[in-house]
Chains A and B, each alone.
Chain A
Amino acid sequence: MGITFNFGEFAASRTICGDTLREMGERNKNIYVLTADLMRTCSVKGCKEAFPERFINVGIAEQNMFGMAAGLALEGNTPFITTMATFASMRACEQLRTDICYQNLKVRIIANNAGLTSTGGSTHNAMEDIGVLRSMANMTIIVPGDPNIVKDILRATEDIPGPVYLRLARGKGEPVVYHPDEVDYKVGKAIETRRGQDATIIACGVMVAQAVDAANLLGKEGIFVRVLDMHTIKPIDEDAIIQAAKETGIILTLEDHYTIGGLGSAIAEVIADNNLNCKFKRMGIPQVFPGFGDGPELYDYYGFGLEGTVDTLRGML
């Protein structure tokens, strides 16, 4: 049955992130933590307490935050920016691209409230961020499928010389997928969360848990679905995609992001570039600005909740 346990448990990636940053910052004097009046939201108060000089709260001013991060990195430091995904990807988009990516600076952007998880409506729904950032040269994009992995990810990215975007879901109440310490996390290497040869769901972020649930339901019908946790969107694990296409012949992508520009688009590119012959569909947010409600409610409403996923996959068999 593969390597996974889905406990039906939840954890808060923000807290894990804040605790890990505190620990890293205490150990490494080159680490700075920045936020734009979202210290509480991003759970980084511990960093302020532990190393107040290297904790910078710029007020509500994201452009300056990204510019300052570039300046800090040019001086040999590793700044971690913590904010919401909408602001990280759009409010300071040009600073991210021109100040940070252009110079390939060691800046980490930790963005929460991604996709439809914010409950704040479309001002706060980051539905475009992967699409926007994926086209930026030098950028690494990671969307963890399990909040507990964030600690491993932060450590695994320490040696990456350029910018890293870490896309968290709401930052709290995120489904746990893996048994602790079970996953050997490597940037750029998809995790085969569930084995299967009849079809493949490639998912990222909170959708990994939903993909596992869908696979389990179909498993009861004797349909064995592979689930790939494509936590690294860029650089994407081409080998895992090619293997899935060849071995299962069916690929369904699942993400809490517009179907344009995100994980599904990235995988479609790999399929097209490699002349792979497989059935292929993308599931995610359609071209709308969703209204209010929490993530799971909206996923169902827009047809990419658990039921929609199972039905869609069944239709592809």
Chain B
Amino acid sequence: MMNQQEIMGLKEMAYQMRMNLMTLCGTFEGSVHIGGDLSMTDIMIALYHYGLHVDPKDIKMPSRDRFILSKGHGAAGMYIAMALRGFFDFDEILNTYGQLNSKYGMHPCKVYLPGVETSSGSLGHGLPIGCGMAYAAKVNEQEHRTVVLVGDGESQEGSNWEAALAAHQFKLGNLVVFIDRNRLQLDDFTENQMSMEPYADKWSAFGWNVINVEDGNDMTQLVAAIDQLPPTSSDVPTAVICNTVKGKGISFMENNPDWHAGSVSQEDMNRGMAELTNVWNQERGG
């Protein structure tokens, strides 16, 4: 449970994360997966600042919750969310992202960046890995949770559904999947490309507990969803379907398939950041 003031604190953090993302996107000359980074921003903040039991000073703490970014192209979003939690330094991310010998690449690499639980980037890999981690935790009678963030387009990969069967079969109640349901994938809207609906029913049919977050960019709803998660001793894995907006917060990016990945001009960066600041000021003022 969080009070209104605490939720405002999370919202401010999400505003800061979007500002940092735009700064990176306007500074780095190569491609940043900005659309999906912006859709998952609120989920990442809710997790790293509320839902996950983690300690940036002790990244190998045995009791930590494990977080896997299965949609590995959201790496910049993860780096920044973790930086805001004290794991990394944003300036280092900004100054080295995507460069030779950087720890911060387009897709997360555990070899270069031990603070992440696993390397990822090829889609459909995170949930099976998460199943393995959650299974080991159960055998070892550990109480932490394994949380996997999956993209909705990504869930077209069949390996997810192999893992979904296994998580149910092995009673991995300590496993939670957050789905960034932004309804867009690289080429098109998901429902045009390869229809996912009825999406929640698919997870239910695989034996999962489903929590629907009507607005996955609303911090209050995300916190409420986290509060509803079953204890890790339960027998049923949970899917939290977060209905989000790709490009959230930047008007020219929202719901626009052109903004899967890219970089922005100085002018657009400033325009976007001004939009974010206006909305945040209204939120804070209201």
- Residue ranges of A at the interface with B (Cβ–Cβ < 8 Å): 53-54, 56, 58-59, 61, 63-77, 79, 94-95, 98-99, 102-104
Size bracket of the B interface: 20 to 34
**Chain B contacts to A: CB under 8 angstroms:** 109-111, 117-119, 121-122, 124-125, 127-137, 139-140, 158-159, 162-163, 165-166, 169-170
Taking a contact as CB atoms under 8 Å apart, the answer to whether A64 and B118 are in contact is no
Give A54's nearest chain B residue, CB to CB. Answer: B139
Residues of A contacting B170 in the complex (Cβ-Cβ under 8 angstroms) = 56
Assuming A61-B166, A63-B162, A64-B128, is B118 touching A70 (CB within 8 A)?
A: yes
For the complex, what is the distance from the CA of A64 to the CA of B163, rounded to whole Å? 6
Q: Shortest distance in angstroms between A148's beta carbon and chain B's nearest beta carbon?
A: 32
A76 vs B158: C-alpha distance when bound (angstroms): 27
Given contacts A61-B166, A94-B122, A103-B118, contact A67 B137 (CB under 8 A): no
Flag if A75 contacts B128 (CB, 8 Å).
no
Asked if B128 contacts A74 (CB within 8 A), the reply is no
**Which of the residues B111, B131, B133 comes within 8 Å of A103, measured between beta carbons?**
B111
The one of A65, A99, A104 in contact with B125, judged by C-beta atoms closer than 8 angstroms, is A99
Name A's interface SS. Answer: helix
The complex places the Cα of A79 from the Cα of B162 at a distance, in Å, of 19
Contact residues in A for B169 (Cβ distance below 8 Å): 59
- Report the minimal beta-carbon distance from B174 to chain A, rounded to whole angstroms: 12
Q: Separation in Å of the A161 CB from the closest CB of chain B?
A: 13
Min CB–CB distance B45 → chain A (angstroms): 25
Tell me, in angstroms, the Cα distance from A54 to B139 when the chains sit together: 8
Kindly list 7 other residue pairs between chains A and B, CB separation below 8 angstroms, not including A70-B132, A102-B111. Answer: A61-B165, A63-B124, A64-B128, A67-B125, A68-B129, A68-B166, A72-B135
B132 lies within 8 A of A69 (CB): yes
Q: Hey, which chain A residues are within 8 Å of B129, CB to CB?
A: 67-68, 70-71, 74, 99
Task: List A contacts of B165 (CB < 8 A).
Answer: 59, 61, 64
Q: What chain B residues lie within 8 Å of A77 (beta carbons)?
A: 136
Residue of A nearest to B140 (CB): A75
CA distance A59 to B164 in the complex (A): 12
Asked whether, in the complex, the Cβ of B135 is within 8 Å of the Cβ of A56, the reply is yes
Return the contact of B135 from the options A66, A68, A95, A99 (Cβ within 8 A). A68
